[in-house]
Amino acid sequence: MSSFQLSMNESSKPASSRWRRVLLKVSGEALAGDQLQNIDPKITMAIAREVASVTRLGIEVALVVGGGNIFRGSSWAGCSGLDRSSADYIGMLATVMNAIFLQATMESIGIPTRVQTAFRMSEVAEPYIRRRAVRHLEKGRVVIFAAGIGNPFFTTDTAAALRCAEINAEVVLKATNVDGVFDDDPKLNPEARLLDTLTYQEVISKDLSVMDMTAITLCQENNIPVVVFNLNKPGNIEKAIKGEKVGTLIGATWNSTMSIT
């Protein structure tokens, strides 16, 4: 990003926010909440309300949503003769279902929202067109990207990193069911320590299960910081979008300028 682009971004940021445009990645598992149903309406409403609170500040928000609460392609590949490509396409369709549900929830509380899919489903959503997505964001609409990148063998984490770079968003915010990245599995080790910051290289060299390596590498190559935080704690989405300290920050440091590491 050029110094001219950086200065333009700095001048257009809302006064109370560190970022002007963000990409929020919501996993499918997070949408399931207590796992008693595929989608927990309380979770989608909580996301909608916190997104609404920051869009009123002038922050532009795009989302990429996963589909693991309904169908995870990598888990089903090989079952009943289902090949990996076909399984991944089914998984992409699951992300569209989640996206439409999220759109309906957001619009029920007055947030103008558009769903764009990586392959054409014109009866239910727009096709992904980068310029159109950017225009929606500039008009204050939330854009939900569904169907991953439209190709098998790529995760929705990679889709989040790719869409973030394409629309010139400044950060990937990964909403999960854990507080961030730990130095050990907190479920097995109660002494596991939450890490405030990590470099991209530390994530890669330690093989930390934050995002897949393709997504992390894409973020590293484009100097995109990643924030991993707990979706289930009230206020965390708003804090993450506004750039307040929450969870684990990858590829940058927690300061007023968010310097890239």
Domains of the chain (ranges plus CATH)?
3-250 (3.40.1160.10)
Residue 179 has pLDDT above 70, yes or no: yes
Work out the mean pLDDT of the chain and round it to a whole number.
Answer: 89
Mean pLDDT is lowest, of 55-64, 154-163, 203-212, for 203-212
- The whole-number average pLDDT for the span 212-234 is 94
C-beta of residue 142 within 8 angstroms of C-beta of residue 169: no
More confident residue, 10 or 33: 33
Instruction: Report the predicted TM-score, pTM, of the whole model to 2 decimal places.
Output: 0.89
Average pLDDT estimate for 157-172: 97
